[in-house]
A and B are shown apart, each in its own frame.
Chain A
């Protein structure tokens, strides 16, 4: 597994993070419907609080002028606003204080326009005058239901689950077989079950860790769905580790393993299509064994499903994982026979 060019490193580490970065870039930066504003409040203006409460934009408070400039310059905010000390008093007294705006030429003009409208609206309220209009920002997204990004995040996590969960144990086992070191291990007090378990546990832990990192990086992990998500990922990783051991026992070498992973993983990841493309009957997805942990993952992240509503699927996944231990045992014995 050494070297950054190893397929395991590419599939396990680089690919999920690269896809996450791509999702962030496409859906957060390029297609984000909410303008982002950075505020430097030199005093304690109520405008800052009003901006924070505004649903139409995302606000970040900068501690210094330098920080404000950097937020705008590096694209973390579409515009920066500096509110001088006693800003509210000056507005109320009619002194017409200066409102310093920091903009980035490359920023989206529409975002700047929305921000300015919202600020003017808040200032009029502060002044006590009746605003001439009410600002409403409506985001038009294609289709109904969860956004494409929201639907893609579980897909990325599932990619890690299926690819890493299967690849790591199988690749490690094949490595031992190809180098012949498994033979050396098995003439020590170490048992075959322990050797297999060591591969599965490493794959399991790595997969769970990567999945949780993917969920956290994509903002899909919250205190409300944390436990159900962790349990689903754990159950899914368990099943995938067992499948990985089966692959590892069956494949005589890495080349065969790659072929198996490439061809059979398409079948394992099949249920994902059910969630990305509407109109496919649910029973089709239920035919796939992986459905039983893919479904709760989608329901938690997209519908906010709780532990109670996914308990049945989790139980089915755990049963599936335990059932897979039998072919693992059978195939590992057969593997040694040859």
Chain B
């Protein structure tokens, strides 16, 4: 299967600062790739190169089998971008925003109301965007990115700072787009969200990809599983965490499990965040 998006050895520098340093990856149709990294890791610069906003210093971007070019309207017509920055026309209504962008894509009769319904904005379609909350603006941003039913969807921190309801709505839409066959590149620093949504994740730090695989594979490869056992004592309770993977561990767990003081016993998996720290040596904080 030909990948929808193929990045090969991308490099970009802002002056003397190397922002992206030899990044390579691909995203298949219908796949969600989580692009994870802290702020300043090079995620946004990579997206800019992938969407034609920046020309790479070196390397190559291939979208849908064609070399990426800012001056290729046919290719641009097949991608959708949801920016982290809320760059909407705030003096227009939601409907006007979508109609305007539909016009840029050459869509004559856009079904804007249906799209607004999908993101939960149908009842506020004719309200000026300047009156929208951050969450509503983000929903409209997502609707705008979908106006052309894109084959490749670039999502830059789509749920950052949103309330749980808005986040859940947007996550549902992202899954739906992948089911439709769109390749989704999801940039986030929310590990839980990446774990929840992504088929594969790429860890990016200091302009390089340090690891790329399915979340489960990364957790198994780099994380350590353990069993947390809670026992009652004369003065209260005590907890013991036993790392799995050795004969001694199995014996210890058996021993504790047979104890009359046993209260609870849970298996624990490594989190994606712990794996990220393990691999990159960096925190994912803001």
Contact = CB atoms under 8 A, between A and B. Distances in A.
Interface residues of B, number: 27
Contacts of A336: 53-54
A188 B54 contact: no
B249 interface: no
The interface residues of chain B, by DSSP majority, are classed as loop
A133 interface: no
Contacts of B106: 189
Contacts of A337: 54-55
Contacts of B144: 184
Contact of A189 (B51, B54, B77): B77
A186 B77 CA distance: 11
Interface in A168-197: 179-181, 183-192
A181 B104 contact: no
Given A188-B104, A191-B71, A336-B53, A183 B85 contact: yes
B156 to A, nearest CB: 11
B225 to A, nearest CB: 42
A243 B124 CA distance: 41
A183 B87 contact: yes
Contacts, number: 55
A179 B87 contact: yes
B83 A189 contact: no
Given A179-B87, A179-B90, A191-B70, A184 B53 contact: no
A2 B51 CA distance: 31
Contacts of B25: none
A134 B89 CA distance: 71
A202 B144 CA distance: 25
25 contacts: A179-B90, A180-B86, A181-B88, A181-B89, A183-B53, A183-B85, A184-B81, A184-B83, A184-B87, A187-B51, A187-B53, A187-B76, A188-B77, A188-B101, A188-B105, A189-B73, A189-B76, A189-B105, A190-B73, A190-B104, A191-B70, A191-B73, A336-B53, A336-B54, A337-B55
Closest 9 CB pairs of A and B: A180-B87, A189-B73, A188-B104, A187-B81, A180-B85, A189-B76, A184-B87, A189-B77, A181-B87
